[in-house]
């Protein structure tokens, strides 16, 4: 006996078949190609960027150019306060970079060995500060990476800086990544006061984490520091004064006239766009790569900067044309009015 299909059942069957075919087509469709880092940055919006506070921005001026350093008061408030005061006093002006150790750091400060020969710190400074190797993690914004780290239970970014975190110990600290700026010290933990500063110019020496106070990081100008001639003395110190690199000045951006300031924006680390950027670097899907790592090291995550885009030009509204004077009415002999003008 033949089976008859009702119109309703037939429509339902056809619809189901069409839906299945459409789903199969979607499954077979090529996946959208992930965006490259440059494509991600090109698609960024103004809200994806932040402008550093001029009170936390140092200008290190050399004969070869300017280095921009962002200070981190959230991690080292006492040291940052001292560094601000030192900069306002012109403490480093006329000093020099005295050390350049290959694959490690460059360092500057007062080269005088004897205390009596050292330059006075000046007004508003403190000769002794507490060690600020770490701070409490509670209440600190932290954009965590999912990747395992060998130096900290958790790693990520906080207030724009690479950082480690130990929730069990309620501790967070800045990481010694390339470009990190730290306060040199002696053997005693509290022997740094911000007068001797260094910048990491080599492979990230993460063993220094929680052993030295990190005060910030270089935003711009690393190429001016990384190419300095290496010192031939112990630990890369220069043996002759003539080998040192003179420092023209170190100033806070807030103390520099506006026309001399450098406009700079830093990519925020608390946005979906930054998460996409990290994944684009964790698993490189461009044609050259044949194997995806599935991992990224904290210090290999790029933190892009840019000059502020030009503000759109707003055209002023054009003034409305003045209304033409209405023609005066002139009476004719017959009493009717006709149009006339006041000009010849």
pLDDT tens per residue across span 219-256 = 999 999 999 999 999 999 999 999 999 999 999 999 99
Q: Is residue 173 part of a domain?
A: yes
The range of the structural domain enclosing residue 252 comes to 49-114+123-274+297-305
63: domain CATH number is: 2.40.100.10
- State pLDDT tens for residues 61-88: 999 999 999 999 999 999 999 999 999 9
4 pLDDT exceeds 60? no
What is the number of structural domains in the chain? 1
Residue 14 lies in a domain: no
Q: Do residues 67 and 220 make contact, with C-beta atoms less than 8 angstroms apart?
A: yes
Please check whether residue 179 lies inside any domain of the structure.
yes
Q: Is residue 330 part of a domain?
A: no
Residue 324 is predicted with a pLDDT of 64
Q: Is the dihedral of CA 227, 303, 296, 144 positive or negative?
A: positive
Identify whether 34 is part of a domain. Answer: no
Residue 234, domain member (yes or no): yes
188 found inside a domain: yes
The rounded radius of gyration (Å) of the Cα atoms in the chain is 32
In a domain, 165, yes or no: yes
Confidence of residue 26 (pLDDT cuts 50, 70, 90): low
CB atoms within 10 A of CB 85: 18
């Amino acid at each position: 006996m033949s089976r008859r299909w009702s119109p309703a059942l037939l429509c339902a069957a056809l619809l189901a078949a069409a839906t299945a075919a459409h789903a199969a087509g979607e499954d077979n469709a090529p996946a959208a190609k992930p965006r490259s880092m440059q494509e991600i940055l090109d698609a960024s919006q103004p809200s994806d960027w932040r402008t550093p506070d001029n009170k936390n921005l140092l200008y290190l001026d050399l004969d070869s150019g300017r280095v921009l350093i962002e200070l981190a008061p959230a991690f080292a408030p006492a040291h940052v306060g001292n560094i601000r005061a030192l900069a306002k006093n012109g403490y480093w002006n006329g000093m020099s970079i005295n050390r350049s150790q290959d694959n490690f750091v460059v360092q500057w400060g007062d080269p005088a060995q004897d205390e009596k020969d050292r330059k006075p710190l000046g007004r508003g400074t403190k000769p002794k500060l507490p060690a600020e190797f770490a701070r409490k993690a509670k209440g600190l914004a932290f954009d965590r990476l999912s990747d395992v780290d060998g130096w900290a239970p958790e790693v990520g970014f906080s207030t724009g800086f690479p950082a480690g975190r130990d929730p069990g110990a309620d501790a967070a600290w800045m990481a010694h990544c390339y470009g990190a700026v730290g306060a040199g010290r002696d053997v005693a933990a509290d022997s740094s006061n911000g007068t001797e500063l260094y910048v990491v110019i080599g492979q990230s020496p993460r063993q220094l984490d929680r052993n030295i106070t990190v005060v910030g990081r270089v935003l711009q100008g690393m190429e001016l520091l990384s190419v300095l001639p290496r010192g031939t003395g112990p630990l890369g110190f220069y043996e002759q004064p003539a080998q040192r690199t003179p420092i023209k000045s170190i100033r806070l951006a807030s103390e520099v006239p506006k026309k001399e300031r450098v406009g700079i924006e830093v990519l925020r680390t608390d946005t979906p766009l930054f998460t996409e950027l990290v994944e684009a670097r964790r698993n490189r899907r461009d044609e050259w790569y044949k194997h995806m790592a599935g991992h990224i090291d904290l210090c290999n995550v790029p933190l892009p900067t840019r000059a502020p885009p030009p503000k759109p030009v707003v055209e002023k509204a054009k003034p409305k044309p003045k209304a033409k004077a209405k023609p005066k009415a002139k009476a004719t002999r017959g009493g009717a009015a006709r149009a006339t003008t006041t000009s010849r």
